[in-house]
Amino acid sequence: MTTEAITAELVTRVQRAHTLGTVGELLGWDEQVNLPPGAAEQRAGQHAALAEVQHAAASDPRIGELLALLQARDALLTPDQRAIVAHARRDYDRATKLPADFVREKAGQGSRGYHAWARAKAADDFGGYAPVLEKNLELAKREAGYLGWSGREYDYMLDKHDPGLTTAATEKLFSELKRDLVPLVRAIVASPRAAQAREAAAKLRGFPVEAQRTFLREVTAALGFDYARGRIDVSLHPFCSGTGSDVRMTTRFNVDQPLDALFSSIHETGHGLYEQGLPVAQLGTALGIHAGMAMHESQSRLWENQVARSRAFWRHFEPRWRELFPVQTAGVNSEELYLAVNAVEPTLIRVDADEVTYNLHIVLRFELEQKLFTGELAVRDLPAAWGAASRELVGLEPATDREGVLQDVHWSDGSFGYFPSYCLGNMIAAQLWACVQRERPEVEEDFARGDFAWLLGWLRGNIHTQGRRFSALELVQRITGEPLSPRHLVAYLRERYGALYLG
């Protein structure tokens, strides 16, 4: 068989498994958006049956044979072929190297862990949750071991979400960020404008859902989301699922917090544009899959923050906003709107945090989960460590574990190493944005005219169509000409929020 023929067969089999995976993803979307409340058990049966056939497809022994053939002639492969093989190998190892008993144990523990967390959070009882967390840590380390990451277990957790990412690289980035961001946040919070921003946001009340829907559809379509290849619906928690020609976002509406649905939809639009920009014919291979969660998050953050919180964006959309909500916006001037859009307020709760302070919540989690993996921190000491870190970083100390270590769902099913992607996404977005401003100084004038095509084209060419040929860090270096650094994020935050709060 020629290398081309082997690669073609590999791609066919890999894509078959991927296609079954997308069916599972659709089941998940449907569950959040459409499922009748009484159908949960029936849906669980569908998920289980599909997961089984998907796993069988992903662990097809023929994939292993084809990978071995291609890896034996590694020197002859083109860069694209090499990328395809590396990604397929990664998936194949994950599908085949974990013993079935372990997978079962982990799935059971994940489900029990979720319920234990929900109970512990409701009862503010960390003690009841601690054994679950200890078990989850143990399983995570065993998983890393099965896949050949013994001794580098936290590296494995990072790599799982962001191929190529290491603890050392993340630590360096986060410690630099922390050094510069903590004093900036302190200064902003102390500014008298912080209270004005909160007051401005509180003025936005009574925005009818239908008009909110109209506005956010117009906005997201203007940004470039293709509604012929995607849709937006309502769910309890906003998310984006699907890929290629069928990308489905969700949002949720609150008549008294109209910026929530709008900005969460723009955030999901960033994810959606990335998925719609992947080459459809290559879906499921390294050439048709995103470069990891940090890069994904950079796309959602760039559109949400750099673009949609800018003055230029609102110069274009404010008239339409006032037209749709004439009564509700009558007592709010343009500067108040801009302040509300860029309100900063420290909070104990990550998911309520603004663009500036959000990063510190992530640094906190990274520092703690990393220490959990090294053993430097014991699970039973987490609440105290959380309190101290929260005071140092966010400037607030939780009175209860419910507002502290029990607030997030992630660890309850063993999803360690995911948090850093959020903050790395912000860093990448800021560094890309600095590059965009160099390459097209008039980009904000585009926005003020409602023209986002240049920016989308730039992201398409540089990122979306690249698939997973490069890791996120490699891609950032290639595009911007320098390694990822938090200085762009700090500079961007200083420029936007400094001008607003400290000017």
For residues 191 and 498, the answer to whether their CB atoms sit within 8 Å is no
**CB-facing half-sphere around the CA of 134: CA atoms within 13 A:** 11
226 contacts a second copy (rule: CB under 8 A): yes
Contact with a second copy (CB under 8 A): which of 224, 244, 277, 383? Answer: 244
CB of 240 to a second copy, least distance (A): 14
DSSP 500: I
**Straight-line distance from the first to the last Cα atom of the chain, in angstroms, rounded to the nearest whole number:** 67
Nearer to a second copy, 25 or 403 (CB): 25
Per-residue binding string, a second copy, 431-460, x by CB under 8 A, is ------------------------------
Residue 49 in the binding site for a second copy (CB under 8 A):
yes
SS (H, E, C) 189-241: HHCHHHHHHHHHHHCCCCCCHHHHHHHHHHHHHHHCCCCCCEEEEECCCCCEE
366, 420 Cβ separation under 8 angstroms: yes
Binding mask 337-376 for a second copy (x = CB under 8 A): ----------------------------------------
Question: Does the footprint of a second copy cover residue 280 (CB under 8 A)?
Answer: yes
| Contact between 9 and a second copy per CB under 8 A | no
Q: Which residue has the tokens 């108040």?
A: 336
**How far is 304 from 241, CA to CA, in rounded Å?**
18
Between 53 and 122, CB nearer to a second copy? 53
268 catalytic? Reply is yes
Alpha helices in 97-226 (DSSP H): 100-123, 126-146, 153-161, 167-190, 192-202, 209-223
- Pairing relation of β-strands 246-251 and 240-243? antiparallel
Please give the backbone phi and psi of residue 165, each rounded to the nearest 5 degrees, phi first. -75, 140
**42 makes contact with a second copy (CB under 8 A):** yes
**Least distance (Å) from a second copy to the CB of residue 288?**
12
Measured between alpha carbons, how far is 346 from 189 in angstroms, rounded to an integer?
7
Rule CB under 8 A: is residue 35 a binding residue for a second copy? Answer: yes
Decide: is 34 part of the binding site for a second copy (CB under 8 A): yes
Annotated catalytic residue within 268, 304, 355, 444: 268
Count of residues interacting with a second copy (CB under 8 A): 33
Give yes or no for residue 46 binding a second copy (CB under 8 A). yes
283 DSSP assignment: B
Least Å distance, CB 379 to a second copy, is 38
State the minimum distance, in angstroms, from the CB of residue 37 to a second copy: 5
Give the residues lining the site for a second copy (CB under 8 A). 16, 19-20, 22-23, 26-27, 30, 34-39, 41-43, 45-46, 49-50, 53, 57, 226-231, 244-246, 280
